[in-house]
Amino acid sequence: MDKKRILIVEDQTDARELFSLMLRRLGYDISEAISGLEAIDQAIAARPDLIFMDLALPGIKGYEATARLKANPTTRDIPVIVLTAYHYEAEQVRLAFEAGAAEVYQKPIGLNALKQIAHRYLTLDQPSETKLAPAPQYYSAAAK
């Protein structure tokens, strides 16, 4: 069975390295991007199974990168999970949902929650009772 691929889009080095390390230890194949444009290029080239996207990125913002990914037939079906320091009512969060983000989590996010999110999106045979329960910092497009 092929390793599931995750693209982590985060301009803060410490956060990106921590997320990457933890997810690699869980057996995922990780690629990284530090800007919105780099995220688009990486997603088209690597075709990840899941994308963790920050919103406050250099160049184009995460919501714009998400919109471009969702408009591209090659990448439109890849789930984009936003990890952001913006508050839920922030305009950028609204724009992320409008762009097609599946969920938004407010940072800081615990590593266990990150693991559960990845597992939920990348494991087809997961029993429903082990799915991630929404945390206080969790927002989904369905709830809007």
pTM reported for the whole predicted model: 0.86
Q: Token pair for residue 120?
A: 């939920």
Strands 50-53 and 103-106: unpaired
| Domains and their CATH numbers in the chain | 5-143 (3.40.50.2300)
Please give the mean pLDDT across all residues of the chain: 87
Mean pLDDT over residues 29-40, rounded? 98
CB 134 within 8 A of CB 140: yes
Does the pLDDT value for residue 133 go beyond 80?
no
Q: Which residues contact 66 (CB under 8 A, 6 or more apart)?
A: 53, 80, 82, 96, 99, 100, 101
Among 25-39, 49-63, 129-143, name the one with the lowest average pLDDT. Answer: 129-143
